[in-house]
Chains A and B, each alone.
Chain A
């Protein structure tokens, strides 16, 4: 069935560097995408979302890029900090559906 997946299960970056977390999706009808951050023992925390009619959206230290041609979504974190260490999930939703489909997650490890 349609699914959302991630290329890398674990990403290790040095503090201060930029991080890029990638996500591939397979449902071309998806029109809404969202990134969540999940720290150990906590629920997923909203980071940023984007509609399918957008290519890019920026937040505080984070940028989401959407490439519909290749069905690819990425999350960029600028100046990565130790507090950014967590598992990051992308999720997609189609317009008429009422549920998000989550990928399996990428673990971001920030080294000092």
Chain B
């Protein structure tokens, strides 16, 4: 099966600029996640979608971050305006079920590495 696809792989922007990331989950996976991974740390959940509805966005900085999943398949994550501390790898993941479940784990893409200068 094809994996989670993300683009772009790398992005360098100046602070206060905007940026968008795209994710295409594994076919048939209803749940999609966006994680932020700062260098040297574990991934931190930003937002979770179930089909095209938001399940959890409690850790999303909503003053600058936004995400959507139109039609319940692809998703985009946007940052506007970017800050230096947003430099990180943004990982998209998908799963069959709405709750991480035994033998049905989250599958991650290779991420987008964002550098804010």
Contact = CB atoms under 8 A, between A and B. Distances in A.
Interface of A: 4, 32, 34, 36, 41-46, 49-51, 89, 91, 93, 95-100, 102-105
Interface of B: 4, 33, 40-45, 48, 55-56, 91, 93, 98-103, 105-111
A39 B56 CA distance: 28
B37 to A, nearest CB: 9
Given A100-B45, A102-B43, A104-B42, A43 B108 contact: yes
B8 to A, nearest CB: 14
Given A32-B100, A98-B48, A100-B106, 6 more contacts: A42-B110, A43-B110, A44-B108, A49-B103, A49-B105, A89-B42
A9 B78 CA distance: 32
A96 B55 CA distance: 12
Contacts of A99: 33, 45, 48, 56, 100
B42 to A, nearest CB: 3
Contacts of B108: 36, 43-45
19 contacts: A32-B100, A32-B101, A34-B106, A41-B110, A42-B110, A43-B93, A43-B111, A44-B43, A44-B91, A49-B102, A89-B42, A91-B42, A95-B99, A98-B99, A98-B100, A99-B45, A99-B48, A100-B106, A104-B40
A105 B99 contact: no
Nearest to B45: A99
A4 B44 CA distance: 12
